[in-house]
């Protein structure tokens, strides 16, 4: 079985910073991509940031220049550094990983449990 666990959410004032962590574990053969989606009240889930197996990254236009992705391959862990946070960043953030497990011939999506990020004065 494969599991994805995330942490690091909380309450922060506008202009502050938070760091989210996401770790994948289990019978992993390879990880094609990892990243975060977020879902705010009344809105659909949207892609925030993503990093591929080759190290390519992409970010939502709304977070470019403020958020940074990094990766620890040995620990199957990615980090989302969120700086200059705005109230509109308030959402539940869901880590995801595209993983090929042992016994499977193709990759599939796995999701973390979600962590609340609230930006308010």
Each residue's pLDDT tens digit, 11-48: 999 999 999 999 999 999 999 999 999 999 999 999 99
pLDDT in tens, 63-80: 999 999 999 989 999 999
Place of tokens 């980090």: 79
Pairing of strands 67-72, 91-101: unpaired
Q: Which residue has the tokens 């990880």?
A: 31
Residue with tokens 């959410």: 9
Asked whether 82 and 66 are in contact (CB, 8 A), the reply is yes
**The pLDDT value given to residue 102:** 86
**Residues whose CB falls within 8 Å of the CB of residue 44, separated by 6 or more in sequence, listed in order:** none
Q: How far apart are CA 67 and CA 63, in angstroms?
A: 6
């Amino acid at each position: 079985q494969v599991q994805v666990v995330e942490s690091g959410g909380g309450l922060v004032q506008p202009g502050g910073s938070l760091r989210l962590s996401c770790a994948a574990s289990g019978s992993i053969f390879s990880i094609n991509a990892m990243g975060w989606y977020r879902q705010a009240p009344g809105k659909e889930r949207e892609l925030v940031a993503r990093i591929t197996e080759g190290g390519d990254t992409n970010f939502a236009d709304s977070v470019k220049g403020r958020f940074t992705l990094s990766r620890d391959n040995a620990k199957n862990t990615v980090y989302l550094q969120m700086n200059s946070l705005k109230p509109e960043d308030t959402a539940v953030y869901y880590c995801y990983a595209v993983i090929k497990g042992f016994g499977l011939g193709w990759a599939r999506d796995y999701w973390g449990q979600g962590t609340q990020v609230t930006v308010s004065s």
